Structure 1
């Protein structure tokens, strides 16, 4: 009975699932290729792959709701309720969200790499340091005196940054 009643939606579900898997595979390969060509840390590549998988999963669930005949007005009520709750939650943690968003932007268009020595032009706290790691929420910067500074990703996009020396870690090792 169930199979006969839902034969067409089940077939469409398998087709959508196959499309989802293919698109996910293509996006993963493209992100990995982009990461390798730009010498981006593998942890950042994995993070961007997770973000893209979550977005694709949400789109898959949305498409599935149409396949099984859920009314558009019902979907609108569910999504508006979910987005209202998420909006309130994200407003409460907006700085975290802005850091994650900045991390994604930095993945695709950040001109500096791990190992580069940069200067951040901040009137209150100027920094000249080597980029040790680029994470989802912050950068790890190593000062000349050996101190580790974590600097939020969103501030990296708001402040002027100058490249002092490319691959400063390699140059520092050669000097020893």
Structure 2
């Protein structure tokens, strides 16, 4: 018997599963793009969130494929417990990076400020009043009135009180020229 004859059912099921997940990927990409455009988010952030959703779907596809080809839950539990033990140690070392990425995803869907807005961050140790120049995966780029560039971590943006001082200050500044 050949490989295809032996695993015919599994291969057909895998094909339908991959087609289904590919359709979900297309729909999620379209929804993310639509939400991003509707809320005025720049294309780089839309692409970043789209990549995050694609990676999540690939991981789901790998998990589903292992079940299709006959892996038992107890076998996967052993593999995942070993992998998560190693990842847990590694992720503990880089928790701040992960919190910034998570904050970046949250900010994509519910951040009330846009590039060009002038904001004030109410931090008792280092208060900032600046224009949002760019919103990235890990941090915001803020331009101070004196021209200095400040990178501010995304997770702190969600922890601190922020006030909108001036809507789209960059456009209004260029109109005066």
Q: TM-score range by the shorter chain?
A: over 0.9
Q: Aligned residue for 1:160?
A: 161
Query: In 2, distance between residues paired with 1:166 and 1:25?
Result: 34
State the secondary structure of the residue aligned to 1:61.
Answer: helix
Q: Aligned residue for 1:171?
A: 172
Q: Aligned residue for 2:48?
A: 47
Q: Aligned residue for 2:38?
A: 37
State the secondary structure of the residue aligned to 1:23.
Answer: helix
Q: Aligned residue for 1:84?
A: 85
Query: In 2, distance between residues paired with 1:44 and 1:75?
Result: 34
String of CA shifts for 1:14-47, please: whole Å, max 9, x gaps: 0011011100000000000000000101111111
State the secondary structure of the residue aligned to 1:136.
Answer: coil
User: What stretches of structure 1 move > 3 A for 4+ residues in a row?
Assistant: none
Where does the alignment leave 5 or more consecutive residues of structure 2 unmatched? Answer: none
Query: In 2, distance between residues paired with 1:53 and 1:106?
Result: 19
CA RMSD of aligned residues (A): 0.6
Query: In 1, distance between residues paired with 2:174 and 2:75?
Result: 62
String of CA shifts for 1:120-156, please: whole Å, max 9, x gaps: 0001110000000000000000001111000000000
Query: In 2, distance between residues paired with 1:153 and 1:81?
Result: 31
Q: Aligned residue for 1:128?
A: 129
Structure 1 position 88, deviation (Å): 1.0
Query: In 2, distance between residues paired with 1:59 and 1:126?
Result: 42
Query: In 2, distance between residues paired with 1:175 and 1:4?
Result: 73
Q: Calculate the TM-score normalised by the size of structure 1.
A: 0.98
State the secondary structure of the residue aligned to 1:51.
Answer: helix
Q: Aligned residue for 1:144?
A: 145
Structure 1 position 82, deviation (Å): 1.3
How many correspondences in the alignment? 176
Query: In 2, distance between residues paired with 1:151 and 1:164?
Result: 17
Query: In 1, distance between residues paired with 2:108 and 2:156?
Result: 15
Q: Aligned residue for 1:4?
A: 5
State the secondary structure of the residue aligned to 1:170.
Answer: helix
